[in-house]
Amino acid sequence: MSQGALRRPGLDAAQVERWLSLVCASPDAHRTTQRSPLDLEPTITVPHSTEDDVDRAFADAHAAQQRWAATSMRERARVLRRFHDLVLDRQALLCDVIQWENGKARTHAMDEVLDVALVSRYYARRSARLLAPKRRRGAFPLVTRTWELRAPKGVVAVISPWNYPLDIGVTDLIPAVMAGNGVVWKPDLQTMLTALIALDLLHAAGLPRGLVQVVAGEGPVVGPMLVDRGDYVQFTGSTNTGRTVAARAAQRLVGCSLELGGKNACIVLPDADLTKAVDIALRGAFVNAGQLCIGTERIFVHELIADAFRSALAAAARDLTLGANIGWGSAMGPLISPAQFARAEAHVRNAFDKGADLLVGGRPRPELGPLVYEPTVLLNVAEGMEAHRNETFGPVASLYVWRDEDELVQRVNDTEYGLSASIVTPSVRHARALAARLRVGGVNINEAFGAAYASIDAPMGGMRASGLGRRHGAEGLLKYTEAQTIAAQRVLPLAPGRFTDEQWARVATLALRILKTLRFR
């Protein structure tokens, strides 16, 4: 399809301006025009928020949060259930805009829609139980009665990236508001319209206006303003920026949750089904053109099947349908920006210059789109090459052969990152034992990344340089709260009182011995 024939979303100009009005920015704000990775043509012109705008966003969110915290969990859940339905109803619009702003294949855009609905349903059903006051064992049975309460943090700063513009930002703010917080959200400039449509749908579902505020601007400019004002910080992005966010939040003694980079491995055991192993490695490496933090950048295949696997993987990668258009039909779209395209090219060129070999790919495809790059697999990638340890975040993977499982574990763990991994084998018992030896936050058995990520009841996040904290599950909600303990003492005091200090020491010692015997604690 020629560049001039690219389909663009059929958006009404007045509607786009209404969505842009949701950005907390003054009428005379500085604006920048974003460009679609499909053809580098303009998409929308985004107003930038000043420091005064950010101050106003936090003030308005605080005011709305005070009212929202008083609403019932039933009402909050009703909002999420309606939002769930609206997201599914408006999936065509959402996928169009995601593709227009991000460039990804439509099936990968649809993944975002489905995950937002999944997370909405989960927290609509589970939040009331997770946040309910809980009885805890007191200091002494029958004498001390203790409860744990959960209170919202206040206003949470959410900073979300461009690679999953609907999914990541929305599924971070959903548990934050369910816990009774307000949110000031800074989506990436490149994918701002996706975020604004999501906020509009939340308003249509009944979320009070003002509770979630959107600010816009360059990350190094606006990001620190959010970190300096938020009562908690949720950040998704690069490890280097994550370190800066953590240090800045620590200065204020506020908590943060960080989902950062990865250099994730796909491990193919010798008993793996070849077709399944190739499919898993292929999807892991080239979903969203490799721009996925839990995607695969290193493939480890056992020597017994290495030759067959290499041939099958190369053939499958060549068969992938590449494209830069809105609609179904492509298996992989372009990279997000010229800078990201240049990074992928630089990693491949650096590997070649230092002695690596090419299994497949390694070329731009300008006839398909200005930012389309072939799915690429490198061989003989070694220490000192950019692609060996550094995250590429593009359609580039390195293939390694292994023999001994102890050596394999050492090689997989030989990175500062620890986000995700996948293992392909018919023996789930063996895979679980191997997974327990990997220093990563999530391991998928016989799946690239989706099994662990879509298990919303389980925590998702990274170890080491891949981040702090977790999203999803109970922790993904409770991190947005402060725990409060209330304890009522009856009959006997926990201090000498009418006893002398010496008498109290004897009484307390006897009580502890009795409790041990009775197994109360």
Catalytic residue flag (residue 95): no
Beta strand residue intervals within 178-269, DSSP E: 182-186, 212-214, 232-236, 256-259, 264-268
Nearest to 11 by CA among 132, 126, 94, 130: 94
Catalytic residue flag (residue 259): yes
Q: How far is CA 433 from CA 52, 284, 436, 475, in A?
A: 54, 22, 5, 25
Residue 104 CA to residue 326 CA, distance in Å, equals 9
Q: How many CB atoms lie within 10 A of CB 307?
A: 11
Query: Is residue 35 within 8 Å of 71, Cβ to Cβ?
Result: no
42: helix, strand or coil: strand
Query: Is residue 299 within 8 Å of 285, Cβ to Cβ?
Result: yes
Token pair belonging to 364 = 């731009």
Active-site hit among 101, 293, 297, 391: 293
Q: How far is CA 425 from CA 2, 248, 401, 422, 436, in A?
A: 43, 43, 16, 10, 15
Residue 310 CA to residue 193 CA, distance in Å, equals 41
Query: Is residue 136 within 8 Å of 147, Cβ to Cβ?
Result: yes
- Return the residue matching tokens 């630089």: 346
Query: Is residue 419 within 8 Å of 391, Cβ to Cβ?
Result: no
Active-site hit among 112, 259, 374, 391: 259
| DSSP label of 448 | S
Residue 134 CA to residue 293 CA, distance in Å, equals 36
342: left (phi over 0), alpha (psi -120 to 50) or beta: alpha
Query: Is residue 292 within 8 Å of 284, Cβ to Cβ?
Result: no
Catalytic residues: 259, 293
